[in-house]
Amino acid sequence: MRGYVAQLTPAGLHRFLPEHTVSTGLLQELVREWSARSAVVVWVVLGDSDAEAIWEMLAAGQAYGAGVLLRDRAVELLPVRSGAPELWPFAPAAGCSTAGLLGGDYLA
């Protein structure tokens, strides 16, 4: 299992980045850049096979399906920054833990 940072809008998953591939400083910049009035930036923990399935959906241009899959397969899912929570069609699935491992570093 690995942590990922993702940007979602009502249209689906638009950005999906393994958290270990970027420094904390760059991650802070990305979160600020990705935050928009109609977007939600989340931190999510996924199994490797689930992440691969999401990458495949994104490569096939299926942003909405990738967002649904991310929501449904997440072991943990936490909003990092939300521009419009009322537009969030990808609320955590039942049984998904939203307590967690997210530190304040992402919000600075």
Please report the pLDDT score of residue 59 as a whole number.
95
The series of mean pLDDT values per 10 residues for the chain, 108 residues long, is 88 88 75 72 92 96 93 87 52 46 32
pLDDT value of position 80 = 76
Contacts of 90 (CB under 8 A, 6+ apart): 8, 40, 67, 68, 70, 71
CA-CA distance, 55 to 63, in Å (whole number)? 10
Structural domains of the chain, count:
1
User: What pLDDT is recorded for position 81?
Assistant: 64
Residue 74 inside a domain? The answer is yes
21 domain-assigned: yes
Q: Is residue 29 part of a domain?
A: yes
User: Has this prediction a pTM greater than 0.75?
Assistant: no
